[in-house]
Amino acid sequence: MKNTVIAFCAGVVVTLAGVTAYECIEHVDRMPDPSEASIALPLTGYNAPEARVISGTPNFRGTVYATSADGKTISGIWAADGPSTFDWTYVGDEAVYIQEGLAKVTYQGRTFELKPGESAFFHVGTVATWEVPQHVRKSWTVHGANRLVRWWRSVTEAL
């Protein structure tokens, strides 16, 4: 019995070491070279399918400037012009940092303003209503939460 437990533990350690080594190699192979100069990434306009306009005609623009090697984390810049109000459904856990302008956000029963220098965090699968009086520009990072994270949140939020 003792030899079986030792063999099992050794197998687990070797497997974890192999998976870690593989992830490390994949990360190094997929990451871009370090920047040697600044790069200008223009914001391109789009109609976001996850947005539902409540009022106004928002002018959405955005760009992605970084993606993790595993594709689970993406960062970018986003801007919207108003006056407009729209619902936004979060397709991943999203952290935002307001660079310019103002947005009044209603999220999970609370309403708050986001101004330059302020940040907020939104969970995957939730919806926020954004009211943009004139203009807002934010940097964002989205991380794709897996099913286990979603399930755990549903359990803990029910308590």
User: What is the average pLDDT score of the chain?
Assistant: 86
Confidence class for position 80, pLDDT limits 50, 70, 90? very high
For residue 63, the cross-strand partners are: 77
Q: Which pTM value belongs to this model?
A: 0.74
Higher pLDDT, 68 or 151: 68
End-to-end CA distance of the chain: 41
Q: What is the pLDDT of residue 158?
A: 65
DSSP letter, residue 11? H
